[in-house]
Structure formats: C-alpha cells, structure tokens
C-alpha cells in the first residue's frame, strides 16, 4: 500500500494501522506505530523527543486530536523506542502509558538509562573495528605463510617434483595458484570489513554472470 504522506514519512498499512518514520539517526530505520479506531488512537513506541512533532502531525492528518489518544504503549525502554514518552504524555491529557514492569522504573526516573546511553555512545573502544583489524592481521599472516610454503615447494629440487614445476623458478602457474587460493578469502574479508566493496564486486561480476544465463 502506498504511503499516506511520503514527505512526512507516514505509511498506511490499512485496518487503522500506520507507521511514522521516527528518523532516529537516519530515515527509514525506526518507526512509531499508530492504531486508530472509532476516532480514538493508541501510539506504539515514541521514538526520541525529536519525533514528537512527527507523531502529532500524523495524528492530525487522520483527524485525531491529542485528547483523543487513549494509550501510549512502549514495547521496551530504549532511547529509540521510548525517549520521547515524557513529552508525548505531556501532550496527551487523557492517555495512559503502558510499559513492562521492569521498564516502568526507567520511565519514571530515566537517569540511569540516560547515563548508560551516554556511556555506551561515548565509549572510545569499538569492538567491531578491533575485530576487523584482527581479521586483517590473521589474513595477512596466513597469506604470507601460504606464499612461503608454495614458493619453497616450487624452488626446492625435491619438492618441485610434487608440484611438477622447474626447481628454483616461480613461474606463471605459481602465481595463478596463489591468486586462486587467495582471491575468494580476500574478497570475503574486504566485503566484511568494507561493506561498500560489495556493490563494486557485484557490479563487476554481474555482466559475466548475465552471459551465463
């Protein structure tokens, strides 16, 4: 079903259910849902306080005045889902807030939740970056070991009989073997560490894949 108002980021699913893009840190990432029936409404999740005007505008577009909102329902108490609860409740005089008992204390006194959010967002260590660095180092070490083993097998007078190559030479066959062994893991690592590489690789391979169909 097409959006009710694409510019405002409001999407109608029918049966009185619609979603409002809360634009937590980018568009089309998180949503606030509205349930409307009989001229009254419930708001499911609130986004942050920055999303409050978007919710009010979406309700007004459906002819729902603030005093006709009966419930604000929080699925869980995270900043992107419940950060705007206080401001929305202040604008809905007849609404009742519904939240799990474990989350209620954080809605009443959000001090600890806010402190944890700030601590997490400002903590200097990013484990994903560290993991990416570890993977790159391991890949480099593995690549050097494989290269040296293959090179010694090709150079050694005895082991070259195993590879069926000329002793002391690293010919074209050697470099093709190195490329064949390393290209797939290298591409896999690059797409994991640098997601933008995925689009480049796909665009590069697509013409060849299309010819095989």
Where along the chain do its domains lie?
3-122, 127-212
Residues 102 and 10: their CA atoms lie apart, in Å, by 31
Q: Is the pLDDT of residue 184 over 70?
A: no
Whether the model clears a pTM of 0.75, i.e. scores above it, the answer is: no
Confidence label for 110 from pLDDT (cuts 50, 70 and 90): confident
Buried b (16+ CB within 10 A) or exposed e, 186-213: eeebbbebeeeeeeeeeeeeeeeeeeee
At residue 13, the 3 state secondary structure works out as strand
The whole-angstrom distance between residue 191's C-alpha and the CA centroid of its chain comes to 15
Least confident of 17-21, 25-29, 136-140: 136-140
Between the alpha carbon of residue 147 and those of residues 174, 176, 178, the distances in Å are: 10, 12, 7
Q: Is the pLDDT of residue 194 over 60?
A: yes
Mean pLDDT of 56-60: 95
Mean pLDDT of the chain: 79
Higher pLDDT, 72 or 158: 72
Fold of 3-122: Metallo-beta-lactamase; Chain A (3.60.15)
Confidence label for 2 from pLDDT (cuts 50, 70 and 90): very low
Task: Please tell me the predicted confidence (pLDDT) of residue 1.
Answer: 43
Higher pLDDT, 58 or 130: 58
Q: Is the pLDDT of residue 67 over 90?
A: yes
Q: Are 177 and 146 in contact (CB under 8 A)?
A: no
Mean pLDDT of 58-74: 96
- State both tokens at 61: 């577009």
Q: Is the pLDDT of residue 149 over 70?
A: yes
Measuring CA to CA, which residue among 47, 50, 68, 72 is closest to residue 59? Answer: 68
Q: Are 84 and 51 in contact (CB under 8 A)?
A: yes
The helix (run of H) or strand (run of E) holding residue 5 is: strand 3-5
Measuring CA to CA, which residue among 179, 142, 177 is closest to residue 162? Answer: 177
Higher pLDDT, 85 or 150: 85
Mean pLDDT of 186-190: 68
Highest mean pLDDT among 38-42, 114-118, 124-128, 153-157: 38-42
At residue 21, the 3 state secondary structure works out as strand
């Amino acid at each position: 079903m097409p959006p009710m108002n694409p510019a405002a980021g409001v999407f109608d699913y029918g049966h009185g259910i619609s979603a409002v893009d809360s634009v937590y840190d980018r568009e089309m990432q998180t949503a606030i849902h509205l349930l409307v029936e009989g001229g009254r409404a419930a708001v499911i999740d609130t986004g942050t306080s920055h999303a409050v005007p978007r919710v009010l505008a979406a309700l007004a577009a459906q002819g729902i005045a603030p005093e006709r909102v009966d419930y604000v329902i929080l699925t869980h108490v995270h900043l992107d889902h419940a950060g705007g609860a206080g401001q929305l409740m202040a604008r809905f005089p007849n609404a009742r807030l519904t939240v799990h008992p474990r989350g209620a204390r954080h809605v009443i006194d959000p001090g600890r939740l806010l402190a944890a959010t700030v601590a997490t967002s400002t903590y200097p260590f990013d484990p994903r970056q560290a993991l990416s660095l570890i993977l790159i180092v391991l890949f480099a070490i593995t690549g050097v070991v494989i290269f040296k083993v293959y090179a010694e097998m090709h150079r050694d007078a005895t082991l070259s009989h195993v590879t069926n190559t000329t002793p002391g030479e690293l010919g074209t066959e050697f470099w093709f073997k190195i490329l064949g062994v390393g290209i797939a893991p290298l591409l896999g690592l690059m797409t994991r560490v640098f997601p933008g590489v995925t689009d480049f690789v796909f665009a590069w391979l697509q013409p060849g894949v299309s010819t095989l169909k």
